[in-house]
Amino acid sequence: RHQRLYSQINQDSDILVSGGSFSRDGFTTVTPKILSRVGVNLHNERNHPLCIIKEQIRDFFYKRFLNKRGNPLFSIYDNLSPVVTVWQNFDSVLVPKDHVSRRRGDNYYLNREYMLRAHTSAHQHELVKVGLDAFLVAGDVYRRDEIDATHFPVFHQMEGVQLFSDFELFEKCQDSSLKLFTDDQERVPEKQEHHTLEAVKLVEFELKHTLEDLARFLFGEGIETRWVVTDFPFTYPSFELEIKFQGEWLEVLGCGIMEQELLHSAGAGHKIGYAFGLGLERLAMVLFHIPDIRLFWSTDSRFRSQFEVPDPRKVKFKPFSKFPPVFYDISFWCPESGFISNDFYDLVRSVAGEMAEKVELIDEFCNPKTGKTSHCYRITYRSMDRTLTKEEVGTIHTELIEQCSTSLGVEVRN
């Protein structure tokens, strides 16, 4: 059934992306719409808010960490291709073979072997392996997800990794008995097996202070932050940083002490390290007061020109008046073979593009006689830069209804 969706909206030819050619197979989930985003590189476009925030973060690290010669310790990589192997995206960062994050329904696979990266962590292993001790990676990442003001299937992350030898970590402590590793085999809430508690606490302190200082550097001294303990397959212990934004806690990054197994397999098993991954849109939305994630993709000069000023750090985005929305509902019986909502969201994106502002499941019920499930979705269509007519949206919505029955195998009711 899914094969129908992907083969219908893709041609049967090979996928050409990022200078490579990839043959389709039963795992393919990329759509032409998504592939058209690859290579746009908003984070490298001068005066784009994502580029401004990337440069702010880079400069913070450049200034804070200097090597013995007085040069920046960190190097930045912002031009690595988002086409990565499934091994890079998952296996290299120890994501178990059966982990939910690998689902086809959540990722853009080119085929069984290649995918569009779902996080910048996909590059940790290769960069540690070439011998880097301190680096940043900025790039576009791709996830199949719901549709609303804070979710878009392409967003941007900035990864950071810093490794320490025992000498570097304990330099300031003047105690030669301090060690990074121990024979202790136990993993406890504070630390991995093999790590000493003193090493972990020093790295964790450095990590948390660096990121809290970064938040203050970006948002000012008054910003409220809090740490939440979480889980990632590639760090232990792991944390998320939340910042108070418009009265609510907003998660802006994940981080932690790198799994020693990852460092070991990348040839840096004698060092200890931290890693973090920041969401650039989340930070930019907070810093510049950008209300809708689709605006980052706008080519409207009323958006772009607001950031073309001598000191873009101080910009507070002035929303241009919103154009009126057009609502249409669609109800259908889900196929008995099952229904994946992300397939539907992808189809909406393919047919309506950025005109789809929001998709909400407004009704769901099961017919007790037939056992069939019905879903009703309300789609908010709205353009960022003009008024849509009921008629033109009607044409798009009709197209969506047709594609739903032909490629999702649902039975449309309205």
Two tokens, residue 317: 């985005």
Task: Report how far residue 155's alpha carbon sits from residue 279's, in angstroms, rounded to the nearest whole number.
Answer: 8
Whether the CB-CB separation of 178 and 198 falls below 8 Å is answered with: yes
Q: Are strands 272-279 and 326-333 parallel, antiparallel or unpaired?
A: unpaired
> H/E/C letters for each residue in 157-180?
EEEEEEEECHHHHHHHHCCCCCCC
Closest to ligand FA5 by CB, 150 vs 196, is 150
Task: Give the shortest CB-253-to-ligand FA5 separation in angstroms.
Answer: 5
Task: Give the shortest CB-157-to-ligand FA5 separation in angstroms.
Answer: 5
Residues between 203 and 242 with contacts to ligand FA5, criterion CB under 6 A: 232, 234-235
Task: Report how far residue 352's alpha carbon sits from residue 231's, in angstroms, rounded to the nearest whole number.
Answer: 36
Q: Is 121 in the site for ligand FA5 (CB under 6 A)?
A: yes
Task: Report how far residue 394's alpha carbon sits from residue 141's, in angstroms, rounded to the nearest whole number.
Answer: 32
Whether the CB-CB separation of 205 and 198 falls below 8 Å is answered with: no
Site string for ligand FA5, 256-295 (x = CB under 6 A): x------------------xxx-x-xx-------------
* Residue 92 to residues 49, 64, 86, 398, Cα–Cα distance (Å): 31, 29, 9, 44
Closest to ligand FA5 by CB, 139 vs 279, is 279
Using CB under 6 A, which of 253, 347, 348, 351 touches ligand FA5?
A: 253
Whether the CB-CB separation of 242 and 228 falls below 8 Å is answered with: yes
Q: Is 139 in the site for ligand FA5 (CB under 6 A)?
A: no
User: Which part of the chain contacts ligand FA5 (CB under 6 A), choosing from 18-26, 68-76, 185-193, 248-256?
Assistant: 248-256
Whether the CB-CB separation of 131 and 96 falls below 8 Å is answered with: no
Closest to ligand FA5 by CB, 30 vs 252, is 252
Spell 167-193 as b/e; 16+ CB within 10 A means b: eebbeeeeeeeeebeeeeeeeeeebbe
Task: Give the shortest CB-79-to-ligand FA5 separation in angstroms.
Answer: 19
Q: Is 82 in the site for ligand FA5 (CB under 6 A)?
A: no
Task: Give the shortest CB-159-to-ligand FA5 separation in angstroms.
Answer: 6
The residue count for binding ligand FA5 (CB under 6 A) is: 24
Q: Is 349 in the site for ligand FA5 (CB under 6 A)?
A: no
Residues between 151 and 190 with contacts to ligand FA5, criterion CB under 6 A: 151, 155, 157, 159
Closest to ligand FA5 by CB, 126 vs 145, is 145
Task: Give the shortest CB-345-to-ligand FA5 separation in angstroms.
Answer: 12
Task: Report how far residue 111's alpha carbon sits from residue 2's, in angstroms, rounded to the nearest whole number.
Answer: 14
Two tokens, residue 12: 């049967």
Where would I find the H helices in 240-333? 260-265, 280-288, 301-304
Closest to ligand FA5 by CB, 159 vs 346, is 159
Q: Is 255 in the site for ligand FA5 (CB under 6 A)?
A: yes
Q: What are the two backbone dihedrals, phi and then psi, of residue 36, each rounded to the nearest 5 degrees?
A: -70, -15
Cis preceding linkage at 82, omega within 30: no
Site string for ligand FA5, 100-119 (x = CB under 6 A): -------------------x
Q: What are residue 245's DSSP bridge partners? A: 248
Whether the CB-CB separation of 251 and 235 falls below 8 Å is answered with: no
User: Which part of the chain contacts ligand FA5 (CB under 6 A), choosing from 150-158, 314-322, 341-349, 377-385?
Assistant: 150-158
Task: Give the shortest CB-243-to-ligand FA5 separation in angstroms.
Answer: 10
Q: Which residues bind ligand FA5 (CB under 6 A)?
A: 119, 121, 143, 145, 150-151, 155, 157, 159, 232, 234-235, 251-256, 275-277, 279, 281-282
